Amino acid sequence: MMLPVHPRPKNNELLSSWLTRLATENGCYSHSFFTNVIGLKEDIVRTDVDRSNSTELIGKLSQVSGVSTDELSKLRLSSLQGEVFSHDSLGTCVRWVLPLGFYHRIKRKRGIVYCPLCLKEDEVRHFRKSWRLAFINLCEKHGCVLWDHCYHCKANVDYQRVGIGSAVYDLPNKDLGFCFNCHKPLWDSPTKELSLDLDRFSAPYKDFISVYESGGSVLPTLNQPLNLQVFNGLWILAGRVTSERGGEVRERILRETGIEILPLRKNYSFEGFPLQQRLNIFIAVLYYLQNWPHKFINLVKKTPFTVTAFGNDIEQLPFWLSSVIFEHMNSTPYATTEREVINAMKYLQAVNPGFKKVELAKLLGIDICTLNKRLKGMKKL
């Protein structure tokens, strides 16, 4: 069955945005449309449909809309697997993707963001795929800070609920740019420019998002064959800089740039930070990655931000980062921990199986006798 109206996906549109348009442009509310009209088993307004890997879903949607399965698959966040994150499974957190915090059909987290100017200019208002990514906090086109809630009523953005349970419209509102809660236009939210401090140091970040949006290789100076290796390192850095061990580094960043980075609250990951914090962290981190690795080494030297600060993440570090960390951020003058010795051994094992003890000592920045004592002590455990 082909639906009477089948809108084409817009450039860089997110699947849930197109799905909602498909329903409302056919005169239906999304919650009844997908189960009653299309006959989907899953309730797509209760799950993060953009992270779904279901081929059945894409197949059915292609049948009723005439849009190819290839084109529809690209609208999903899961299509970023292998580029931005290495794996995704629905129901867990995934690196870089803003969580929605579902409670039944309510999205409790501010996981949907928008640029008011983009929405204002849209001929057909739609939400972009990249707006769900935790490192996109500035509009590449307009240079303004994105919004993650309604300016008028402060509600979270939820275009899938536009019109649901509302006495305002008989038929669903077809315009995704209205707030589902107060029915006022989201595109009326005032434009927020970067503060002066942030703007002064934002060039590397602006380059980064513009290269990302155009599909190029991000941070080309790192010479990585895959964007994934850059993203994996950035995710760990962005998180670790907010850790307890990052205190002095954050103070230095504040002194040198005026950018304030707050310490991590327990059980928070980068995606759980408020938008402004994510923006601050990213602008600062990318600024210090310029002229890699010299600026970064200067930032961290003689601080407790050493190999140890990376904890268990050390095993997942991409080589461009781990090589610098092990060469320049070993623990001296702090006592080497057992964890560091083990991690350094794992690291050497990976790059040079059959390495010698003296290489291990050099990597850890400790004397060979000290290392021997350490190793003896560890064997007793």
Q: Give residues in contact with Zn ion (CB under 5 A).
A: 115, 117-118, 139, 141-142, 150, 152-153, 155, 179, 181-182
Q: Which is nearer to Zn ion, 186 or 264 (CB)?
A: 186
Nearer to Zn ion, 141 or 346 (CB): 141
* CB-nearer residue toward Zn ion: 211 or 348: 211
Which of 151, 355 has the CB closer to Zn ion? 151
Closest CA to 114 of 35, 11, 192: 192
Give the nearest distance from C-beta 155 to Zn ion in angstroms.
5
Q: How far is the CB of 213 from Zn ion (least distance, A)?
A: 11
Q: Name the minimum Å distance from CB 238 to Zn ion.
A: 23
Shortest Å distance, C-beta 289 to Zn ion: 25
Q: 131 in the Ramachandran plot: left (φ > 0), alpha (ψ -120 to 50) or beta? A: alpha
CA separation (Å) from 230 to 125, 286, 290, 318, 371? Answer: 32, 11, 14, 8, 33
- Shortest Cβ distance from residue 188 to Zn ion (Å)? 10
3-state class (DSSP) for residue 342 = helix
Those residues whose C-beta lies under 8 Å from the C-beta of residue 343, and which sit 6 or more positions away, are 307, 314, 315
DSSP class of residue 84 equals T
d(CA 30, CA 37): 10
* Closer residue to Zn ion, CB minimum distance, 143 or 247: 143
If the CB atoms of residues 152 and 206 are measured against Zn ion, the closer one turns out to be 152
- Rounded to 10 deg, the angle between the 357-364 and 338-351 helix axes is 120
Least gap, CB of 128 to Zn ion (angstroms): 9
Element (H, E) at 107: strand 106-107
